[in-house]
A and B are shown apart, each in its own frame.
Chain A
């Protein structure tokens, strides 16, 4: 790393570590996770459905569900918070003029910002998890095994990639914008699209292709199995929505994390082995990494080539 990049990284990291925005997002994550896991824990204790009894493994899975749910909201917001103002605000305030009047290359400025954001995202994800998981585990009295822990650690990779994907997207929007407020608006619109609109659109497409579910009466308590027609219907719904949501970073994240904690069978507490998860779900990580790579590359192209400080 060149000295100029290191200077920018240091300034950016210190600036954010001192900011209220950064720590508010970490606080929001902890709050969301603890609240979701508490709600899930109490709801599951109240459930007494045969075949869905609470086991140790199931509660850990539910905690992970809460973790991924909280992370799928907060990680994108973290990426956006770090990215939307990265260039647009500097351009708006005029600080970029003083920086670029120095013997610094434009790509060094971008390198510094990206590296700093990566460090800040890693810190945020680690601190959030380190703070919230022990609270929830203590609340529910769950014993976490080494396998649980290693999978939890592994789940931090897609969390970091998800935040980085949104950071790269926000950085690109920031590079194109002269006003940080406008950049923020576009970033939030992208987040709303992936988080709320795209899943609805995917369901609507599946519904319009397959029509309503077949009207079959059945007794869920008898064996806990859905009739084959319904199972087939929901499988097809799942396939269509998954195809549409392949472009959603949020969905790729959730799918991968859920796969990490998929049990071999409903009767066992052991998980599907990591090798086969990575063999089947590598595409989730690849899509997240592609977001990071594509939007980072576009940011470089537009920022370095733009050379129009207004």
Chain B
């Protein structure tokens, strides 16, 4: 598989008078090309440090990192030519207008003057700020600032987008716009790395993810691969939707080998098992009037709780 971002034993240690803080601890991250990848972890888990190293804002203490094949230490300028970054805790020049800010940043990106005006109009349109192009940034709300931050990341039409907490401050309309935009950009073949702890905002649009805890990547892969790990540790979940109260079916399900728990909520039976019992379920439910049977995949929230709440790798 071809990776857009690849790190190997990436380590970052901050040293000050108080001692050492290990922000990244031998992190091995693999982000395939052309996917929307979530980097999930709580505050202080090392997400921002990892991103800063990827775009050359910080140097690693040990290990290597490559973006689009370029080394983050030796070729960071090549990376910054191709990567659009929305950093955490960014700021704009407040006495300048949105347009002037983008013009300054776009020129630093090396976008030719003639093309820059068109690009600025395009990205302002994309994030819904076209009407505010000539308004000073100091008049902007938090959400508008976040939209402008997204616009500046898109300005150079990057191959890779790295977004650190991109939905912070966005209203529901803004979040919806953001998700639509991300889906469209991935369809165009771009790689997007979104770092966040707000899974409910962006988790469900990611096809791949990595979970970072105390500076270590504790798990990564696509949803199916991560769900498999989850099932192996937490068991399998199934949902059976029935037409009438199925006392006999409930009894039969409880007797199946490996079933840990059977619960009923309205017309839905939830079955939790320590092993894959889909074949047995098909056999049993075939004798009853059942509307549907499906294996329930874990949600990103459940996976987050699993990887960060102590169910994994402790």
Instruction: Report which A residues bind B (CB closer than 8 A).
Output: 4, 7-8, 11, 15, 18, 93-95, 97-105, 307-309
Looking at the complex, which of B34-42, B82-90, B216-224 is the stretch in contact with chain A?
Answer: B82-90
Decide yes or no whether B204 CB sits under 8 A from chain A. Answer: no
Alpha-carbon distance A308/B21, docked complex (angstroms): 14
Enumerate the 5 nearest inter-chain pairs by beta-carbon distance, A residue then B residue, closest first: A94-B91, A93-B91, A102-B108, A101-B85, A97-B87
Summed over the interface, the residue pairs from A and B with CB atoms below 8 Å come to a total of 64
Given A98-B90, A307-B57, also A7-B107 (CB < 8 A):
yes
CB distance A7 to B104 under 8 Å?
yes
CB distance B52 to A95 under 8 Å?
no
Closest to A108 in B: B108
Query: Which chain A residues border B52 with CB–CB below 8 Å?
Result: 309
Decide yes or no whether B294 CB sits under 8 A from chain A. Answer: no
Can you list 22 A-B contacts (CB < 8 A)?
A7-B104, A8-B108, A11-B93, A11-B104, A93-B94, A94-B87, A94-B90, A94-B91, A95-B92, A95-B93, A97-B57, A97-B90, A98-B90, A98-B105, A99-B105, A101-B55, A101-B80, A101-B83, A103-B80, A103-B81, A307-B57, A307-B59
Alpha-carbon distance A154/B152, docked complex (angstroms): 46
Alpha-carbon distance A93/B52, docked complex (angstroms): 17
Q: How many residues of B contact A (CB 8 A)?
A: 29
Query: Which chain B residues border A18 with CB–CB below 8 Å?
Result: 95
Given A98-B87, A98-B90, A307-B59, also A15-B105 (CB < 8 A):
no
Query: Which chain B residues border A8 with CB–CB below 8 Å?
Result: 108
CB distance A15 to B108 under 8 Å?
no
CB distance A104 to B93 under 8 Å?
no
Query: Which chain B residues border A104 with CB–CB below 8 Å?
Result: 80, 108
Query: Which chain A residues border B14 with CB–CB below 8 Å?
Result: 308
Alpha-carbon distance A309/B23, docked complex (angstroms): 14
Alpha-carbon distance A8/B104, docked complex (angstroms): 8
CB distance B108 to A103 under 8 Å?
yes
CB distance B91 to A98 under 8 Å?
yes
Shortest CB-to-CB span from A92 to chain B, Å, is 8
Shortest CB-to-CB span from B50 to chain A, Å, is 13
Alpha-carbon distance A246/B163, docked complex (angstroms): 53
Given A15-B93, A99-B105, also A307-B87 (CB < 8 A):
no
Query: Which chain B residues border A103 with CB–CB below 8 Å?
Result: 77-78, 80-81, 108-110
Decide yes or no whether B58 CB sits under 8 A from chain A. Answer: yes
CB distance B57 to A309 under 8 Å?
yes
- Per-residue CB contact flags for chain B residues 91-119 toward chain A (1 = under 8 Å, else 0) read 11111100000001101111000000000
CB distance A94 to B104 under 8 Å?
no
Shortest CB-to-CB span from B23 to chain A, Å, is 11
CB distance A97 to B89 under 8 Å?
yes
Query: Which chain B residues border A98 with CB–CB below 8 Å?
Result: 87, 90-92, 105, 149, 152
